[in-house]
């Protein structure tokens, strides 16, 4: 019989009583997930299971590939570019509603790790290079999400800034850099929004994994910050049994457990390496989470996943996507475009017909729909304007999955995988499954667990004749046959298993001649890697394969000449360039800031700009990219990954339905070599498994300020973004100060009046930066740091007076001895519209009578 609790669920005393009824074995079950996405349930005591779902730009549900469709929201870097707390809170609430449609009441997001390098593969999934921006906007996101009683899981705690060898790399980071940069956004979110979950990261920090040292989980999170929520590992990031339990990691993910087996924990208990109180504390954290999300009361059952396409979510995604777009250049006010002045527009570039809604990896999902730029232009312009299109360049990293023309033995589109327990495909398959395209994996497929070989088959009928382009790869040794003939053989296992899972692997490429209308039998045979070829144990003993295809005519067409020809005939050209989820993804950092591939997109922009001076470039990436063509074009938009409405969001800004108000949440270097961690990031640590955070606290704009004295050495400064209107600032004042009696709630207030001096309604983001008075005791502190911001929406001619506040931590820096210090003297406080000295609107003085310290 189900336990009866009040409307608010069990009290803490009732939870403790429930815990006391658990056997030791039952408690151990609750220390890890039971599968990839669900916590364990104890039916005897009516302790329910809880489902989690990947985020943070949507709730994907239980299937990594081809699952139930879901709404795709803008990536967190796009949200950061809005500098809009209210909008981020609304997005969080909407994603909470989405999570519920997947039966999940824990969302694995948001990601708040700072952007350390401009080539971070997962930067798009996080907010900013600046810890204050990251913490402030993530706090709003978490508040919105948890208003729907869906738990946020703030990740990855801590210092998961690079994806290269992230499972095993050792990162050497100074205590000061940790405190001022990398821990700071987590501290802000915990104190401002109380997230119900935190996810720990993979890397070693100063020699040990998160759960193998007391520093982060016990000393900082629990004792210094007073965090009371649940701590879970990243998937496969639990590194041990004993330390993880004693230092405070509540949940090993995924399941079945590798370290917290019944035998392992009982052995640790028997040897007194772990106490029963340690186990009870970990289980109680899970029970408290179950209560918070309502699993003991109104959410007992886990419903079937549903695709619920809400009109209000569509509108919100379109609004947020447009709000994050940053206008980087607009010479001669070529934008906004005027529909009546455009008779013919050429849309060129590899992202014209692709809706680059999200990056790759955990942030990917099966969108309800995606609006490409071409679709948006077609609908938005109708028949009044002639629109021509050309890809202009191919940017394949891996060839697209073969799909069209394939039919499996059941007569359905796609392939069938037969899974065998033998390692030589002998005997009968123990399980078979249909796939819509030429790719499969056993990872996260419970039904295929234990497969030691797989046969993957389809009948392919070529739609056109030609010597078409194929690519082939397997996670382990694999063979590909056409009509019984071996045409490709991968003899060794894949070097990087994670790259394979994310579709960015190195492939065997070749051509094969096909005759239109002729049927061909395709067979792939694959086995697991004979030895572990991954730093992540979850990928051990898995089987996967991929077959890619590009038609000969598509591959060999002179796309550049076609695009230039269309550009020359058009009134305006809009060139859509950028990355795709193949190039920008979890699990892979990039080697350079250049657009892919082999300079083809840069060549395209230059060529069409030469053919037509009215060329507008739209860049869709989650990171800064080199722009060797910048001086050749009059206008550039940075569109980020704006979610499923990306095409519409871009169209709205281009034609002025939305006045661009986005600001860069990152510095935009001219070259990768100018970045502060160049030579000490990503691929530089591939073989050594060591990386040093040599730049210390000088990340992003802090580095450019420190090295050059200003931000003129960047292509575009942090906080920068143009508008279709203009603004003026007046009457800036400052009120308040700090002393040794100051608490966290005491603030200094900066007030300023902002006026829209143009003829178009628009938004401006007021930014407040603080600089220490002298080098003195604060030597090594960056010249300035952002301490507050506020976004204002103003009608033409309208003025608003706004107040921006910051607390003592804005003026503090970390010193040895577990303390923060605020220097005495006159601090410079600037009111600005970017981090560049050119954009300072007012300079104020904050006098602090004497230096003081306060505890962490």
CA separation for the pair 465, 513 (Å, rounded) = 8
Q: How far apart are the first and last CA of the chain?
A: 47
597 prior amide bond cis, ω within 30: yes
Half-sphere exposure of 600 (CA within 13 A, CB side): 22
- At 726, list the tokens: 């203009």
Place of tokens 């035998």: 263
Pairing of strands 439-441, 544-550: antiparallel
- At 12, list the tokens: 């803490």
Helix (H) or strand (E) holding 262: helix 262-270
Backbone angles phi, psi at 470, to 5 degrees: -125, 150
Sheet holding 615-620, edge to edge: 326-330, 635-638, 615-620, 572-578, 344-348, 386-390
- At 330, list the tokens: 């607009």
Instruction: Cite the active site residues.
Output: 234
Helix (H) or strand (E) holding 569: helix 559-569
Place of tokens 């160049």: 678
Is the CB of residue 369 less than 8 Å from the CB of residue 342? no
Report the SS3 class of residue 762: strand
b/e code 451-471 from CB counts within 10 Å (16+ = b): bebbbbbbebebeeebebbbb
CA separation for the pair 494, 506 (Å, rounded) = 8
Judged on CB neighbours under 10 Å (0-12, 13-18, 19+), 23 is exposed
Is the CB of residue 129 less than 8 Å from the CB of residue 114? yes
Question: Count of CB atoms within 10 A of residue 678's CB?
Answer: 17
Question: Count of CB atoms within 10 A of residue 196's CB?
Answer: 24
Place of tokens 């661009």: 660
- At 624, list the tokens: 């800064």
Report the SS3 class of residue 506: coil
- At 359, list the tokens: 């990056």
CA separation for the pair 716, 57 (Å, rounded) = 26
- At 744, list the tokens: 């966290």
CA proximity to 596, closest of 611, 614, 585, 582:
582
Is the CB of residue 73 less than 8 Å from the CB of residue 90? no
Report the SS3 class of residue 332: helix
CA separation for the pair 805, 844 (Å, rounded) = 14
Backbone angles phi, psi at 386, to 5 degrees: -80, 130
- At 532, list the tokens: 């572990």
- Enumerate helices (H) and strands (E) in the chain, giving the number of each: 19, 37
CA proximity to 100, closest of 71, 131, 141:
71
Enter the DSSP assignment of 367.
Answer: B
How many residues are recorded in the chain? 856
CA separation for the pair 130, 735 (Å, rounded) = 25
CA proximity to 773, closest of 841, 829, 717, 815:
829
Backbone angles phi, psi at 219, to 5 degrees: -70, -50
Q: Which residues pair with 804 in a beta bridge?
A: 750
Is the CB of residue 737 less than 8 Å from the CB of residue 748? yes
């Amino acid at each position: 019989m189900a336990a009866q609790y009040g409307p608010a669920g069990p009290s803490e005393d009732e939870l403790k009583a429930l815990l006391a009824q658990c056997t030791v074995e039952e408690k151990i079950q609750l220390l890890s997930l039971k599968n990839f996405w669900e916590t364990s349930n104890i039916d005897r005591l009516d302790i329910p299971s809880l489902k989690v779902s990947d985020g943070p730009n949507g709730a994907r549900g239980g299937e990594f590939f081809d699952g139930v469709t879901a709404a795709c929201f803008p990536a967190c870097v796009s949200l950061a570019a809005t500098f809009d707390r209210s909008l981020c809170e609304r997005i969080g609430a909407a994603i909470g509603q989405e999570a519920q449609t997947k039966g999940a009441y824990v969302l694995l997001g948001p990601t708040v790790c700072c952007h350390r390098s401009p080539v971070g593969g997962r930067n798009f999934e996080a907010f900013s290079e600046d810890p204050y921006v990251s913490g402030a906007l993530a706090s709003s996101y978490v508040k919105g999400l948890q208003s729907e009683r869906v738990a946020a899981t703030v990740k990855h705690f801590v210092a998961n800034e690079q994806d290269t060898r992230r499972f095993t790399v050792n990162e050497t980071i100074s205590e000061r850099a940790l405190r001022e940069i990398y821990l700071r956004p987590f501290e802000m979110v915990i104190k401002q929004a109380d997230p119900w979950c935190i996810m720990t990261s993979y890397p070693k920090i100063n020699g040990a994994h998160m759960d193998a040292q007391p520093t982060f989980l016990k000393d900082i999170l629990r004792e210094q910050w007073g965090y009371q929520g649940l701590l879970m590992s990243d998937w496969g990031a639990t590194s041990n049994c004993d330390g993880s339990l004693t230092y405070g990691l509540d949940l090993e993910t995924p399941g079945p457990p590798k370290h917290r087996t019944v035998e392992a924990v009982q052995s640790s208990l028997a040897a007194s390496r772990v106490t029963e109180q340690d186990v009870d504390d970990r289980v109680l954290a899970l029970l408290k989470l179950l209560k918070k999300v309502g699993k003991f009361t109104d959410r007992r059952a886990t419903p079937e996943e549903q695709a619920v396409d809400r009109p209000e979510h569509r509108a919100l995604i379109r609004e947020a996507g447009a709000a994050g777009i940053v206008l980087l250049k607009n010479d001669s006010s070529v934008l906004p475009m005027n529909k009546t002045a455009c008779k013919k527009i050429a849309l060129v570039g590899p992202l014209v017909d692709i809706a680059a809604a999200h990056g790759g990896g955990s942030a990917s999902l099966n969108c309800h729909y995606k609006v490409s730029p071409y679709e948006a232009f077609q609908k938005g312009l109708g028949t009044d304007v002639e629109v021509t299109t050309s890809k202009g360049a191919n940017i394949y990293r891996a060839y697209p999955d073969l799909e069209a023309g394939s039919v499996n033995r059941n007569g359905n589109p796609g392939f069938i995988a037969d899974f065998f327990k033998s390692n030589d495909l002998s005997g009968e398959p123990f399980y078979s499954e249909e796939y819509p395209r030429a790719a499969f994996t056993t990872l996260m497929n419970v039904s295929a667990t234990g497969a030691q070989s797989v046969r993957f088959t389809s009948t392919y009928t070529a739609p056109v004749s030609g010597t078409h382009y194929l690519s082939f790869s397997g996670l382990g040794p694999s063979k590909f046959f056409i009509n019984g003939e071996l045409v490709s053989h991968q003899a060794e296992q894949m070097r990087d298993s994670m790259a394979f899972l994310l579709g960015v692997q190195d492939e065997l490429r070749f051509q094969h001649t096909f005759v239109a209308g002729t049927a061909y039998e395709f067979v792939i045979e694959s086995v697991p890697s004979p030895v572990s070829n991954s730093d992540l144990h979850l990928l051990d003993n898995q089987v996967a394969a991929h077959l890619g295809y590009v038609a000969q005519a598509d591959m060999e067409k002179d796309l550049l000449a076609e695009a230039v020809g269309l550009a020359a005939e058009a009134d305006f050209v809009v060139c859509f360039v950028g990355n795709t989820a193949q190039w920008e993804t979890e699990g892979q950092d990039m080697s350079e800031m250049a657009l892919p591939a082999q300079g083809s997109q840069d060549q395209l922009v230059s060529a069409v700009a030469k053919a037509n001076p009215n060329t507008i470039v739209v860049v869709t990436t989650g990171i800064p990219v080199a722009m060797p063509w910048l001086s050749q074009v009059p206008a550039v938009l940075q569109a980020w990954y704006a979610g499923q409405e990306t095409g519409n969001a871009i169209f709205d800004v281009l034609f002025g339905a939305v006045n661009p108000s986005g600001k860069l949440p990152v510095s935009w270097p001219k070259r990768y070599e100018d970045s502060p961690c160049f030579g000490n990031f990503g691929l530089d640590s591939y073989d050594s498994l060591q990386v040093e955070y040599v730049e210390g606290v000088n990340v992003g704009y802090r580095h450019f300020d420190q090295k050059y004295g200003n931000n003129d050495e960047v292509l575009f400064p942090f906080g920068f973004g143009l508008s279709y209107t203009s603004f003026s600032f007046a009457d800036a004042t400052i009120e308040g100060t700090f002393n040794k009696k100051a608490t966290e709630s005491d603030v200094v207030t900066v007030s300023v009046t902002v006026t829209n001096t143009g003829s178009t309604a628009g938004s401006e983001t007021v930014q407040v930066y603080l600089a220490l008075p002298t080098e003195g005791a604060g030597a090594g502190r960056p010249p300035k740091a952002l301490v507050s911001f506020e976004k204002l929406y103003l009608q033409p001619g309208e003025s608003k007076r706004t107040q921006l506040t910051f607390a003592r931590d804005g003026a503090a820096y970390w010193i040895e001895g577990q303390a923060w210090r605020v220097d005495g003297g006159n601090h410079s406080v600037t009111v600005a519209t970017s981090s560049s000295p050119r954009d300072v609107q007012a300079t104020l003085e904050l006098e602090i009578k004497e230096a003081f310290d306060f505890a962490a």
